[in-house]
Amino acid sequence: MKTFYITTAIDYTNAAPHIGHAYEKILADVLARYHRLKGEPTYFLTGVDQHGQKVQQAAQKAGIDPEPFVIETTKKFVDLWQKLELSYDEWAETTDPAHKKVVQEILQRLYDKGEIYKATYRGFYSVRQEQFLTEKERDENGNFGPEWGEVVELEEENWYFKLGIYRDWLLKFLDANPQCVIPGFRHTELRNAAEKLSGDLSISRPKSRLAWGIELPFDTNCVTYVWFDALVNYISFAGYGADEEKFRRLWPALHVIGKDIIIPAHGIYWLIMLKALGFEDADMPTFLVHGYVMVDGEKMSKSIGNIRDPHTFADKFGVEALRYFLMRDCAVGQDMDFTDARLVQRYNSDLANSLGNLLNRSLNMSKRYRESRLTKPAEGGVLAEAIASSVADYTSTLDRHLVNQALEAAWNLATRANAYVEETAPWKLAKDPEAAAHLDAVLYNLADSLRVLAILISPVLPRAAEGIFAQLGLTGELRLSDAVWGLLPDGHVLGQPEVLFPRIETEA
């Protein structure tokens, strides 16, 4: 069976991680955990891009050399990802000697094929994006927008990759493969950008200006452009050029990336790089493109002072609360507005009130009326139907990477189970000896619904899922194939009820 290979855009180590980084990594982690839940072999790669002009400048500003700087800043990312319980299978650092070897081999191959040539260019250069700009990047007033940061005029002799000759291929590929970019409107944006593709890509920087990078194998006076280095991580750490069996098992990948780097880096540069290396159309990756995490309606910015540190929210509200809020409130592909109040509201409403209350009162009623011992009925009735419906919706949406809709499907089951409690009123049934069998069925159905809910929430809330299983008196691996009614055995004894999601109290 082919492994489901998920990657995320590796982060530049010139800044501390923020809530937007956390969203992307949690999204990829949820997808990886879901495919493992299905029993599919899964490989999740993430890491940090440690080269480039921005890193060099940040190190200079900090008064240290780039190497100790990236070691120090990389630790910030590693610490956060461990706190957020990311289940990645491999960690990529672009200073890794094996990665650098693959990058140089690729550069040499393209050079030998005549895909790379030398030329002098005079033009405007974006320091932030580390690329030369053209007239099409100017606004209606003739200015380069703020998204480009500092723009300087340069004249340099550099090495160029023949990007433009692949324009027609790229357009045909995008037309024939509309599902290669998700959601669809991002595919349309990429198609429009590809239409405007002209000229070639500068893939070198002189060491006199940038020394922190991977040296060109055919010109020791230059290092390679950061994207020609960073993008290669997706295949270098998957075994390309070193472990072909591993690479065949993993590739092609699902790239989870932000909307700001689909054009041009991933959707144009990366696809054309792969094509030039001989990759077939069927071997091209798929891009799952997410939006920005906004703060009170504005994009996070140091100048505005609205950067949100994920450590703060994980420490204050808990890792599970942060994971749930980011996955529940953001439709993949769209921007989301991150507010403290909304996080607390979503946690209290969904986790404390809906799921947490269902768990606590179901187990308490079983303990009070049946000493926590279940009697299995012949059929599950309305809750068995609700389980089947929710699981079908959950699987359908997560297969399409729609995490927020999958959570909605899971909470439909929680909502139905809570309504079932009110409809059946176990506290009344307990007073009627003739309703004993009915009460047994109600208590069993509630416990079994909670078992299924634990399975469904496990990709997003792994600790909570384990907590529910423990309170249900269950052990063992959670599997999606077990998300069906009736797997709690007759006579099963439940564990002790505990408050799993204590309410977050806010000041008036």
CATH number of the domain residue 401 falls in? 1.10.730.10
Residue 14's pLDDT is what? 67
Residue 295's pLDDT is what? 84
Short-list 356, 123, 333, 111, CA closest to 222: 111
Q: How far apart are CA 463 and CA 468, in angstroms?
A: 9
Is 369 contained in some domain? yes
- Give the tens place of pLDDT for each residue, 279-330: 999 999 999 999 999 887 777 766 666 778 898 889 989 999 999 999 999 9
- DSSP per-residue letters across 383-397: HHHHHHHHHHHHHHH
Residue 508's pLDDT is what? 35
Is 10 contained in some domain? no
Is 33 contained in some domain? no
DSSP three-state, residue 296:
coil
Residue 438's pLDDT is what? 97
Residues 333 and 185 sit within 8 Å (Cβ to Cβ)? yes
Residue 497's pLDDT is what? 95
User: What range does the domain containing 474 cover?
Assistant: 345-482
Residue 74's pLDDT is what? 92
3-state helix, strand and coil shares in percent for the chain, rounded to the nearest 5: 50, 15, 30
pTM: 0.93
Is 30 contained in some domain? no
Q: What's the first-to-final CA gap in the chain, in angstroms?
A: 55
> How many structural domains does the chain have?
1
Q: How far apart are CA 218 and CA 112, in angstroms?
A: 10
Q: How far apart are CA 114 and CA 111, in angstroms?
A: 5
Is 147 contained in some domain? no
Residues 17 and 76 sit within 8 Å (Cβ to Cβ)? yes
Is 365 contained in some domain? yes
Short-list 457, 460, 323, 326, CA closest to 390: 457
Is 144 contained in some domain? no
Over its length of 508 residues, how does the chain's per-residue pLDDT go in tens digits?
679 999 998 887 767 788 999 999 999 999 999 999 999 999 999 999 999 888 888 889 889 999 999 999 999 999 999 999 999 999 999 999 999 999 999 999 999 999 999 998 778 888 777 777 877 788 888 889 887 888 888 888 999 999 999 999 999 999 999 999 999 999 999 999 999 998 899 999 999 888 999 999 999 999 998 889 999 999 999 999 999 999 999 999 999 999 999 999 999 999 999 999 999 999 999 999 999 998 877 777 666 667 788 988 899 899 999 999 999 999 999 999 988 899 999 999 999 999 999 999 999 999 999 999 999 999 999 999 999 999 999 999 999 999 999 999 999 999 999 999 999 999 999 999 999 999 999 999 999 999 999 999 999 999 999 999 999 999 999 999 999 999 999 999 999 999 999 999 875 3
Residue 236's pLDDT is what? 98
142 vs 134, 261, 369, CA distance in Å?
11, 23, 76
407 vs 106, 208, 361, 394, CA distance in Å?
42, 52, 22, 7
Residue 507's pLDDT is what? 57
- Number of residues that make up the chain: 508
Kindly state the tokens that stand for 465. Answer: 């899922």
Is 496 contained in some domain? no
